[in-house]
């Protein structure tokens, strides 16, 4: 059973040059994770996921960070969602600070984000 697309999304927040991508080796997740700052977005903190580094924005999975992690667009398995939820919970403060611009530089957010512990990946 997959968690499906529940809310359509406007152009704001689509993947673009303003998103930093993190390799699975860095996050411990089976996805490339894209993080961004708020910019002109009218929604709260979100991350995007892709199964490969090269992906069209419309094929990405969008996950809201607050108030609780939830899939906004796309479909993933419950097991994958559990991994993502745990990674978000580990990194919520950093994701929010980057979104709000309190962390200004990509290199700083990359250094602050924590990978999912090896024991939690199984």
**Structural domain contains residue 55:** yes
Query: pTM value?
Result: 0.82
- In whole angstroms, give the CA distance from residue 9 to residue 11: 7
Q: Is residue 1 part of a domain?
A: no
Residue span of the structural domain in which 93 resides: 19-113
Q: Is residue 94 part of a domain?
A: yes
pLDDT for the residue numbered 80 = 96
Identify whether 60 is part of a domain.
yes
Q: Is the pLDDT at 86 greater than 50, yes or no?
A: yes
Each residue's pLDDT tens digit, 3-22: 333 333 333 334 444 778 99
CA–CA separation, 39 and 54 (whole Å):
23
The number of domains in the chain is 1
Is 68 a member of any domain?
yes
Within-domain flag for 9: no
- Does residue 58 lie within any of the structural domains? yes
């Amino acid at each position: 059973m997959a968690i499906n697309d529940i809310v359509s999304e406007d152009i704001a927040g689509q993947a673009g040059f303003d998103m930093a991508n993190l390799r699975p080796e860095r996050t411990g997740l089976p996805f490339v994770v894209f993080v961004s700052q708020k910019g002109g977005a009218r929604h709260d903190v979100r991350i995007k996921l892709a199964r490969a580094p090269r992906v069209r924005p419309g094929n990405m999975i969008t996950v809201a960070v607050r108030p609780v992690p939830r899939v906004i667009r796309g479909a993933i398995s419950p097991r994958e969602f559990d991994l993502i939820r745990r990674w978000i919970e580990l990194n919520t403060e950093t994701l929010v600070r980057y979104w709000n611009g309190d962390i200004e530089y990509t290199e700083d957010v990359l250094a602050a984000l924590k990978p999912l512990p090896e024991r939690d990946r199984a």
